[in-house]
Structure 1
Amino acid sequence: MLKKNLTGAAAGVALGLMGSVAGARDLAFAVFVPAASPSVQSIYQPWVDWFNAEAAADDVEITLYAGGTLGRNPLAQAQMVADGVADLALTVPSYTPGVFPDFDMFELPGFANNTREGSLAALELHQEGLLHGYENYYVAAMYTSGAYMIHTREPIESVSNLNGTRLRVAGQIQTAVVEALGGVPQNMSAGEMAENIDRGLIDGAMTDASVARTFRVADVAPNHYDANLGVLVFTIVMNRGVYDSLPDRVKDLLAQSGQFIADRQIESYGPAIETNMQAWEADAAHTLVIPTDAERAEIAARVQPVIDQVAAAATPGLIEAYEAKLEDIRSR
């Protein structure tokens, strides 16, 4: 059912979708990021094009609604799918603290080193039934960002320099990590990072290298501390009732979609991060610090209480399974 409080353009689009949602033929895919973003251009639209070509014989297609057309609030995307406002939606588990505790471990420092490791680990652990929290949905895709690092106005040469540093974070795990490292976490949206750093309201931000470039953080925070501070999980979820109504061949396409999207993320996002890192290293206006083994050991020791907290809230044995999965991925 459509929520009665939808207004304006979103309501008009959603009302026009009522028949298609009921028939589960024209599937509305809600994405809260802009249509011009690299994720839409390199990942979501290519996936939609591939799916539509493959599902044409079954008279099923996906229509992509980017830029928050069906709802701009990133925290409300899963509920939009549950309510039938959209058939599929991009969601971020960490945006709703406490709802998906199994996913908190991906944001822990010292585990996944890059987009490939994080994306394959998340997807495969989900496929093996080890990640819980989305049982009321069909999960079409699961993948991650690159490893988070710290970008600041002033140089950060070691973890001790983080004491008292005001850093933008997103969510409770990043908040706990920054506090453990001596920083002062400041929760705000990605779009607010650069302006607040430029105005001196915060000293820097914790995010990966691609986001730092896309949201202009690197323009105002040219000092980069590559401390491998965890990755962020993204999921594309589908209304369970809509999924159940689809032909088996279309369900097979959805089963293939997770690997399709993870591969596209790895192929496009990973190299973008490497390009940014190389540019910063070659630019005299930037500093790029790689922590020593001793520094990494100190970071690990400081965040161990956060790891213990996450492990206690997650499915028993999940973090150990995550570590084993990462080792397996690195050996391939």
Structure 2
Amino acid sequence: MQKTLIALACASASLAASADPVILKVAHFWPATALSQQKVLEPWCAKIAQESNNTLQCQIYPSMQLGGTPPQLIQQAIDGVADIVWTLPGYTAGRFPSMEVMELPFLTKDAEGGSRAAWEIYQKYGQKDFAGLKALAFHVHDRGQIHNNKRPITKVADFKGLKMRAPTRLTNKMIAALGATPVAMPMPQTPDAVSKGVVDGYVLPWEVVPTMKLHEMTKYHSEISPPQPGLYTTLFTIAMNQAKYDSLTPEQKKVIDANSGVDFSAAIGKAWDESAPAARKQAQDRGNQFNTIGAAEVEGFQKATARVATDWVKEVTAKGYDGKAMLHDAQTLSAQYAK
């Protein structure tokens, strides 16, 4: 009888333990008020909770609350410090060569289409670079624009003598090709650098500018005129610790799988596209000066930055990748999915 009671007690304890929800630690570098958390992570977390009968739940840690710096996020996911991170592969220069192609100048026209292209590039070329991680999404941001405090920028010569912040290795190469001095730094450091004059300007999409209150400390904004491709974009990933994913039940894995991939990537890109007009309006309302870079001037920008792609193909080919095919596919897919 006693053995039976003990067995029943153990079985009850086991059932109770199995009923405990899995709490996923989700880390990123943006403030909690940013689009990334409010319009992407929070709805995504609510959806996986609902579809898993609350056996999957998120605890979101914005603004690097788990410690470390933005470039360390990807390693935090691999090491299990965080279960899921949202970050830039480009913050760790050279670590993810396969996905850098999405950051070459004048590649994408919009974030939704560019994000679909990014996921397909990952599927075809990128998986070996992300060992230890389960990619949930790859996306790009809305059209990258030029912002500075020195002068209006409408042609390549206007970059001469400027110190410009850029987020990744390839955007730094692009800035240098345009004649400015690139200053590499993660996005959270940018407002302080602008306010102290460490940099004269920066390249960023519209969504980020008011999130970081940069429109309050910037005089001039220069935009590549559609339908020309945007000047540049930055690649982001939402990635999960592979061991954490492997530890989930089959039902929980199905929920994660159903809420990751190409459609999730495109939805994030669409959210960034849709955010741009309202973000831009905040700079307009302050009376900041706007300049449009038309087709004739864009040709000069494209010529000045063409060698960035040429050099990239040579670099990754030397590392064993098919750089020419990767560039061709990124260009083809980006054009195919462009709105």
TM-score band, normalised by shorter chain:
0.7 to 0.9
2:268 paired with 1:265: yes
Could you say which residue in structure 2 is the equivalent of 1:115?
Answer: 111
Specify the alignment match of 1:30 in structure 2: 27
Equivalence for 1:142: 138
SS in 2 for 1:234: strand
CA distance in 2, matches of 1:183, 1:257: 41
Q: 2:6: which partner in 1?
A: none
- Point out the more displaced range, 282-291 or 149-158: 282-291
Aligned residue in 1 for 2:315: 313
The Cα offsets for residues 102-139 of structure 1, whole Å up to 9 and x where unpaired, read as 2222222111122212222112332x333241133111
1:130 is paired with a residue whose SS is: helix
Distance 1:206 1:237 in 2: 25
- Normalised by the length of structure 2, the TM-score is 0.82
1:98 CA displacement: 0.6
Quote the residue 2:294 is aligned against: 292
Distance 2:52 2:153 in 1: 51
* Structure exhibiting the larger radius of gyration computed from Cα positions: 2
Matched residue SS, 1:70 = coil
Q: Per-residue CA shift, 1:176-229, capped at 9, x if unaligned?
A: 111100011122343343343344332211111121222222222231112322
Equivalent pair of 2:154/2:222 in contact (CA under 8 Å): yes
- Counterpart of 1:182 in structure 2 is 179
Deviates more, 1:266-275 or 1:102-111: 266-275
Between stretches 207-216 and 63-72, larger displacement belongs to 63-72
Give the equivalent residue in structure 2 for 1:252.
Answer: 254
Deviation (angstroms), 1:279: 5.7
Runs of 4+ in structure 1 off by over 6 angstroms are none
Once residues 289 and 41 of structure 2 are traced to their aligned partners in structure 1, the CA distance between those partners, rounded to angstroms, is 33
Identify which of 121, 124, 129 aligns with 1:129: 124
1:218-245 deviation per Cα after TM superposition (whole angstroms, max 9, x unaligned): 2222311123221111112112222223
Supply the distance in 2 between the matched residues of 1:201 and 1:246 (Cα, whole angstroms): 46
The TM-score with structure 1 as length reference comes to: 0.84
Q: 1:79 aligns with which of 68, 75, 79?
A: 75
Distance (whole Å) between structure 2 residues aligned to residue 260 and residue 110 of structure 1: 23
- Relative to structure 1, the CA distance from residue 273 to residue 322 in structure 2 (aligned partners, 3 Å threshold; closer, same or farther) is same
Output the aligned Cα RMSD: 2.4
Distance in 2 (CA, whole Å) between partners of 1:105 and 1:86 is: 27
> Percent sequence identity over matched residues?
22
1:44 is aligned to: 41
Partners in 2 of 1:203 and 1:27 — Cα distance? 40
State the Cα distance separating 1:284 from its structure 2 match.
8.3
Letter of the structure 1 residue corresponding to residue 293 of structure 2: P
Whether the 8 Å contact between 1:48 and 1:64 is mirrored in structure 2 is no
Structure 2's unaligned 5+ residue stretches are: 1-16, 225-229
Q: CA deviation at 1:53?
A: 0.9
The DSSP-based 3-state class of the residue aligned with 1:68 is coil
The CA deviation string for residues 68-100 of structure 1, in whole angstroms up to 9 with x for no partner, is 232241111222222222222222100000101
- 1:226 and 1:289 in contact (8 A); partners too: yes
Distance 2:22 2:279 in 1: 41
Structure-2 separation of matches of 1:276 and 1:41:
15
Higher deviation after alignment, 297-306 or 23-32: 23-32
CA-CA distance at 1:172 after TM superposition: 1.7
Aligned match of 1:323 in 304, 313, 331? Answer: 331
